[in-house]
Structure formats: structure tokens, C-alpha cells
Amino acid sequence: MNQLNFKTQEQIKDEYINSGEAERIKKEVCERLEETGYNDRIRQVCLEYIQKKGINNVSLTELFEDVGKDKRSAIDQNIQHEITKKIREFVENNISQTY
């Protein structure tokens, strides 16, 4: 008789990485952000921030904290939903193992 057991979060994470799925999804996110102009908009915001503050008066940490605050919410909702769906499908398809 087969017994169904659920994998731990760590096991699923390892499979996600080792299967190459994490890298495929990361690549897709990068491509989609580039296609939608998100990267260009963020570059422009960073450039304006640096010009306003002066190049010698801005640290990388400050730039991340001040510019990065709301930029995740600026990502197209369709992209967020598609990527979340792909990750969810991976987890659902890999959450259990039969012994």
C-alpha cells in the first residue's frame, strides 16, 4: 500500500532550485519587466533621485530604501499573478511524495 507524505518547506525549496524552475521563473520575470518598461522607469527614478541629492550624497542603501519602497507595487499585476500562479503550480505538483 502506498503512503502519501508531504514534503517539508525546505525539501520543496531545494527541488524548486535544483530543478531549474527558480532560474526559469527568474529569467521570465526579468524578461517581462524589461518588456513592460518597468526597468527603464526604475532607472529613471534612480537617476532623478541621484541628480536631486547629488552623486556624492547618496549611498546604495539610501537609494534602495528611498526608491525601492513602493516599486514592487509598480510591477504589472498580470505579471505578479502569472508568476505567483507558476510558483503555486510548482508547489502543488511537488508537495507530496508517495512511499
Is residue 58 within 8 Å of residue 67, measured between CB atoms? no
Say whether pTM exceeds 0.85: no
Number of domains in the chain: 1
| Closest listed residue to residue 21, CA positions, set 91, 72, 78, 97 | 91
Give dist(CA 45, CA 51) in Å, integer: 10
Q: Is residue 99 part of a domain?
A: yes
* Surface-to-core class of residue 56, CB atoms within 10 Å of its CB (0-12 exposed, 13-18 middle, 19+ buried): exposed
Helix and strand counts by DSSP (H, E) for the chain: 5, 2
Within a domain: 96? yes
Residue 55 lies in a domain: yes
Q: Establish if 44 belongs to a structural domain.
A: yes
Residue 25 lies in a domain: no
**Which residue segment(s) compose the domain that 86 sits in?**
40-99
Q: Are 50 and 63 in contact (CB under 8 A)?
A: yes
Contact 90, 16 (CB under 8 A): yes
Residue 27 maps to a domain: no
pLDDT tens by residue, 4-54:
688 888 999 999 999 999 999 999 999 999 999 999 999 999 999 999 999
- Would you say residue 16 lies in a domain? no
Considering the domain boundaries, does residue 19 fall inside one? no
Q: What is the pLDDT of residue 4?
A: 67
